[in-house]
């Protein structure tokens, strides 16, 4: 008797494989994009398969822990660094997900929490000589305290105002750390570095190299965080937080303390951000610089969360995969391929992107006609790309091409997959009744 | 005393540029509830196009007008192609699309014009006017004059023309406007086109001051966004007030913070690094007291992300 693989595991594996393949070169990118389109098309798996019982969180935890074991045997240090970055980004994104996804507050100051955590770990374990594990734990606590403090004014702001206000806090974090008045504590412009204090594996794990031990620490922390967030999301507190996001009035009327839970969400998110920052300090060879926590990083985190899927436990993991293996690497790969003169690949990429968008937005009608329109648009897009590339030959700097494709990929992903990749799994997709938008609400409200 | 006035005056000049860009933000936000991070990059691109026009010998006034038209065209096109489908999505996705637009447009600018710094000559040169010990740079006067003329034109447009009235109606209540027979889809495109034009003007005015490069607008973008939020995202007056306020405060901090702190006994090496921090503190402070910005309306708690 054959075991039917549950659809969530299937879509997880498929998405992860697609994202990993996107980091390869040449035709593999095409295959990966075609695969992504296929995932979108076949997402309506038969109901019998979807009835499987494996929770996404288990899939996530297994994936992360398995990676943790795998790196124990991988001597290749570049892969190890990427895996460690993946792990700490999972923690950071889970934190961002708690406040942006579960609680619905656009707090864009997450990078500042990362920075606070990194500096706390550096100061405590470097300057004051605490054991590193304690330093990392303390980083989470300190960041949580700052988050709790910030949640007081944040409770009064909403929507875009909160986003921009917290964004400005994130922007000034770097300059504040660089100030001379603080340089006694923070090292000013040069940052803090403690290369000479290695963090080696304790007794039962002596057979691991230092780098491998760091990776094990980071990845098991990430797995633990995923499990914790899954428990939080399924608990009554998590449900209450989401209720407060979806309809604050109704939630308040059944006794949910919405402002308190909003503060709690920001605090938890800050704690996870601080934890991730401390891991960053570890991964960065015990060196932290004020220039590492920029607006660019905040935007990368936000984008990764959007693409991976917010409001699910799986989303941040997919988002971290996307960020490490596609976003940061894809730019260079595509540029190199373009320099080789392969307009065809460019055209195919453009065609697939156009297909994704057209399939979603083509005029409603019989399914085959919609697909014909979509394919027509895709072919037109491909031809137009080849035409433009030939016309602009020599006038367009290839170095800009990566940014162009990344931006286009972002726009297309948000248009075609608005709830992120994790929403491809029917079990983690949110109910359709929640698809209302702020515009509708604003129109229905009585003008004051 | 004249030093103080000088500092304030310079702040007013940079603040006016922030106001222009903030006005573009507010125009788009009022029309489509969308925060357009790409506004700065749009302005940079159109300014580069203006540079190309100057390069082939187009006179400055004509170039200015053409740049406005091109900015409007690009803004409207972006609305039709990218933003229209995105309006059905949530705020967070709009931010991501904003970021995507930012990447795409800055990549196009970088690709077409590469990374060199180019110069746009100021159209008005000469020694600064001196009034009571204060130097008033001629180009600065030109910048403020142009900006005020633009803002006046915009105000008159919104207040006295039917099209402006239709735009205001659509921004206020889209369904009611549609029921009155207004083509709301055209209004949305027009809002973006106007914002594109205003942003383009800001770019062209800024270029002679800081030099034309692909990074030109990045610093201004953050200050302009803060200015827009400070004044209230739905209020054009707020954008102007916010922009000038932030410009002046930044200059004051840069010039006087070390002296002020010396009185209290704190020594700082370089007051200029506190400029951004001052702007951020101002923004957060105002928002805590007035969650909707100085002149804006705070969104109701029913709004969802």
Within 10 angstroms of residue A207's Cβ, the number of other Cβ atoms is 9
Task: Report how far residue A279's alpha carbon sits from residue A94's, in angstroms, rounded to the nearest whole number.
Answer: 14
* Model pLDDT, residue A344: 64
Average pLDDT on B80-105 reads 78
* Model pLDDT, residue A406: 74
Chain-chain contact of B279 with A168 (C-beta, under 8 angstroms): yes
Residue B100 has pLDDT above 90, yes or no: no
Residue A63 has pLDDT above 60, yes or no: no
Chain-chain contact of A181 with B266 (C-beta, under 8 angstroms): yes
User: pTM of the predicted model, to two decimals?
Assistant: 0.81
Task: Report how far residue B106's alpha carbon sits from residue B79's, in angstroms, rounded to the nearest whole number.
Answer: 17
A446 confidence band (pLDDT: 50, 70, 90): very low
Nearest by Cα to A102 from A276, A251, A325: A251
What is the ipTM score, two decimals?
0.82
**Contacts by A194-198, CB closer than 8 A, 24 or more apart:** A194/A122, A194/A125, A194/A126, A194/A286, A194/A287, A195/A285, A195/A286, A195/A287, A197/A125, A197/A126, A197/A286
A275 confidence band (pLDDT: 50, 70, 90): very high
* Model pLDDT, residue B247: 92
Report the DSSP pairing between strands A287-288 and B129-131: unpaired
Please check whether residue A169 is in contact with residue A147, taking contact to mean a CB–CB distance below 8 angstroms: no
Q: pLDDT (tens digit, 9 = 90+) per residue, A295-312?
A: 888 888 988 888 887 777
Three-state secondary-structure class, residue A397: coil
Please, what's the largest Cα pairwise distance for chain A? 71
* Model pLDDT, residue A364: 58
| H or E element in which residue A409 lies | helix A401-416
Q: Which residue has the tokens 């734990």?
A: A137
Please check whether residue B201 is in contact with residue B258, taking contact to mean a CB–CB distance below 8 angstroms: no
State both tokens at A326. Answer: 């596609």
Task: Please report residues of B whose CB lies closer than 8 A to that of A179.
Answer: 268, 273-274
Identify which of B90, B110, B226 has the shortest CB distance to residue A397.
B110
Burial of B22 (0-12, 13-18, 19+ CB in 10 A): buried
Please check whether residue A56 is in contact with residue A312, taking contact to mean a CB–CB distance below 8 angstroms: yes
Residue B45 has pLDDT above 80, yes or no: yes
Instruction: Compute, in degrees rounded to 10, the torsion defined by CA atoms A294, A295, A299, A305.
Output: 50
What is the Rg, in whole angstroms, of the alpha carbon atoms belonging to chain B? 20
Burial of B184 (0-12, 13-18, 19+ CB in 10 A): buried
Please check whether residue B8 is in contact with residue B252, taking contact to mean a CB–CB distance below 8 angstroms: yes
Average pLDDT on B205-211 reads 86
State both tokens at A302. Answer: 């936000």
A447 confidence band (pLDDT: 50, 70, 90): very low
Residue A403 has pLDDT above 90, yes or no: no
Mutation test of the interface with chain A: which of B34, B41, B103, choosing the one with the most A Cβ atoms within 10 A? B103
* Model pLDDT, residue A218: 85
Task: Please report residues of B whose CB lies closer than 8 A to that of A307.
Answer: 96
Burial of B132 (0-12, 13-18, 19+ CB in 10 A): exposed
Residue B209 has pLDDT above 70, yes or no: yes
Three-state secondary-structure class, residue A385: helix
User: Distance, in angstroms, between B72 CA and closest chain A CA?
Assistant: 21
Hey, which of A127-141, A408-422, B290-304 has the most confident mean pLDDT? A127-141
* Model pLDDT, residue A141: 95
Within 10 angstroms of residue B280's Cβ, the number of other Cβ atoms is 22
Mutation test of the interface with chain B: which of A106, A150, A152, A437, choosing the one with the most B Cβ atoms within 10 A? A437
Alpha-carbon A10 to chain mean position:
20
Q: pLDDT (tens digit, 9 = 90+) per residue, A222-242?
A: 888 887 887 788 788 988 999
Residue A436 has pLDDT above 50, yes or no: no
Please check whether residue B26 is in contact with residue B208, taking contact to mean a CB–CB distance below 8 angstroms: no
Q: pLDDT (tens digit, 9 = 90+) per residue, B121-180?
A: 777 776 777 776 777 888 888 889 999 999 999 889 988 999 989 988 888 888 898 899
Please check whether residue A357 is in contact with residue A416, taking contact to mean a CB–CB distance below 8 angstroms: yes
From first CA to last CA, the distance across chain B in angstroms is 49
* Model pLDDT, residue A117: 93
Nearest CA in chain A to B214: A400
Identify which of B111, B284, B287 has the shortest CB distance to residue A400.
B111
Q: pLDDT (tens digit, 9 = 90+) per residue, A279-294?
A: 988 877 778 888 888 8
Residue A51 has pLDDT above 70, yes or no: no
Mutation test of the interface with chain A: which of B82, B116, B292, B305, choosing the one with the most A Cβ atoms within 10 A? B305
Query: Which residues are CB-neighbours of B290 under 8 A, at least 6 positions away?
Result: B298
Q: How many CB pairs under 8 A join A and B?
A: 197
Three-state secondary-structure class, residue A5: coil
Identify which of B96, B299, B304 has the shortest CB distance to residue A245.
B304
CA angle B78, B30, A420 (to 5 degrees): 55
């Amino acid at each position: 008797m054959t075991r039917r693989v549950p659809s969530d595991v299937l879509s997880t594996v498929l998405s992860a494989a697609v994202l990993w393949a996107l980091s390869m070169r040449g035709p593999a990118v095409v295959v990966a994009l075609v695969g992504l389109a296929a995932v979108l098309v076949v997402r309506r798996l038969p109901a019998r398969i979807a009835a499987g019982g494996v929770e996404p969180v288990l899939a996530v935890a297994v994936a992360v822990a398995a990676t943790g074991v795998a790196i124990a045997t991988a001597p290749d240090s570049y892969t190890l660094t990427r895996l460690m970055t993946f792990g700490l980004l999972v923690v950071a994104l889970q934190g961002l997900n708690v406040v942006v996804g579960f609680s619905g507050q656009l707090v864009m100051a997450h990078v500042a929490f990362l920075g606070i955590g990194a500096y706390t770990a550096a100061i405590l374990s470097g300057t004051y000589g605490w054991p590193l594990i304690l330093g990392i734990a303390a980083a989470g606590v300190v960041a949580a305290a700052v988050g709790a403090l910030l949640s007081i004014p944040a409770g009064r702001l909403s929507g875009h105002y909160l986003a921009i206000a917290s964004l400005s806090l994130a922007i000034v974090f770097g300059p504040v750390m660089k100030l001379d008045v603080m340089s006694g504590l923070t090292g000013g412009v040069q940052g803090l570095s403690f290369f000479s204090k290695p963090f080696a594996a304790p007794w039962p794990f002596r057979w691991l190299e230092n780098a491998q031990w760091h990776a094990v620490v980071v990845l098991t922390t990430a797995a633990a965080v995923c499990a914790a967030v899954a428990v939080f999301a399924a608990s009554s507190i998590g449900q209450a937080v989401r209720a407060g996001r979806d309809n604050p009035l109704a939630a308040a009327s059944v006794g949910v303390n919405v402002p308190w839970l909003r503060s709690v969400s920001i605090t938890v998110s800050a704690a996870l951000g601080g934890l991730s920052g401390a891991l960053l300090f570890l991964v960065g060879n015990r060196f932290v610089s004020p220039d590492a926590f920029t607006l660019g990083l905040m935007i990368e985190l936000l984008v990764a969360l959007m693409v991976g899927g917010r409001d699910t436990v799986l989303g941040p993991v997919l988002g971290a995969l996307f960020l490490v293996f596609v976003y940061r690497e894809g730019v260079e790969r595509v540029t190199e391929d373009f320099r080789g003169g392969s307009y065809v690949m460019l055209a195919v990429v453009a065609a697939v992107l156009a297909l994704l968008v057209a399939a979603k937005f083509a005029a409603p009608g019989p399914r085959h006609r919609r697909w014909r329109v979509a394919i027509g648009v895709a072919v037109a897009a491909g031809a137009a790309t080849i035409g433009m590339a030939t016309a602009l030959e020599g006038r367009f700097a290839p170095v800009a091409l990566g940014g162009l494709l990344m931006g286009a990929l972002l726009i297309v992903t948000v248009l075609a997959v608005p709830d992120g990749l994790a929403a491809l799994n029917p079990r983690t997709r949110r109910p359709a009744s929640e698809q209302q938008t702020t515009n509708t609400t604003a129109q229905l409200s009585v003008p004051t | 005393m004249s030093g103080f006035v000088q500092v304030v005056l310079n702040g007013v000049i940079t603040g006016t540029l922030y106001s222009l860009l903030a006005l573009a933000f507010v125009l788009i936000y009022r029309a489509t509830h969308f925060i357009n991070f790409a506004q700065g990059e749009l302005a940079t691109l159109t300014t580069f196009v203006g540079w190309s026009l100057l390069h082939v010998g187009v006179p400055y006034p004509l170039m200015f007008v053409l740049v406005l038209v091109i900015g409007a065209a690009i803004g409207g096109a972006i609305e039709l192609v990218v933003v229209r489908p995105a309006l059905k999505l949530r705020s967070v996705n709009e931010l991501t699309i904003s970021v995507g637009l930012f990447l795409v447009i800055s990549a196009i600018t970088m690709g077409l014009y590469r990374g060199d710094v180019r110069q746009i000559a100021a159209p008005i040169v000469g020694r600064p006017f001196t009034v009571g010990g204060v130097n008033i740079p001629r180009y600065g006067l030109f910048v403020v004059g142009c900006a005020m003329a633009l803002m006046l034109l915009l105000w008159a447009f919104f207040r006295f023309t039917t099209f402006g009235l239709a735009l205001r109606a659509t921004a206020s209540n889209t369904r009611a406007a549609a029921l009155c027979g207004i083509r709301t889809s055209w209004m949305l495109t027009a809002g973006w086109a106007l914002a594109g034009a205003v942003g383009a003007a800001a770019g062209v005015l800024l270029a002679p001051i800081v030099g034309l490069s692909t990074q030109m607008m990045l610093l201004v973008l953050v200050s302009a966004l803060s200015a827009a939020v400070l004044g209230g995202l739905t209020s054009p007056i707020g954008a102007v007030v916010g922009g000038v306020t932030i410009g002046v405060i930044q200059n004051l901090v840069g010039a006087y913070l070390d002296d002020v702190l010396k009185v209290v006994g704190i020594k700082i090496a370089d007051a200029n690094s506190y400029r951004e921090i001052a702007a951020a503190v101002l923004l957060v402070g105002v928002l805590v007291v007035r969650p909707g910005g100085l002149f804006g309306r705070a969104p109701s708690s029913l709004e969802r992300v």
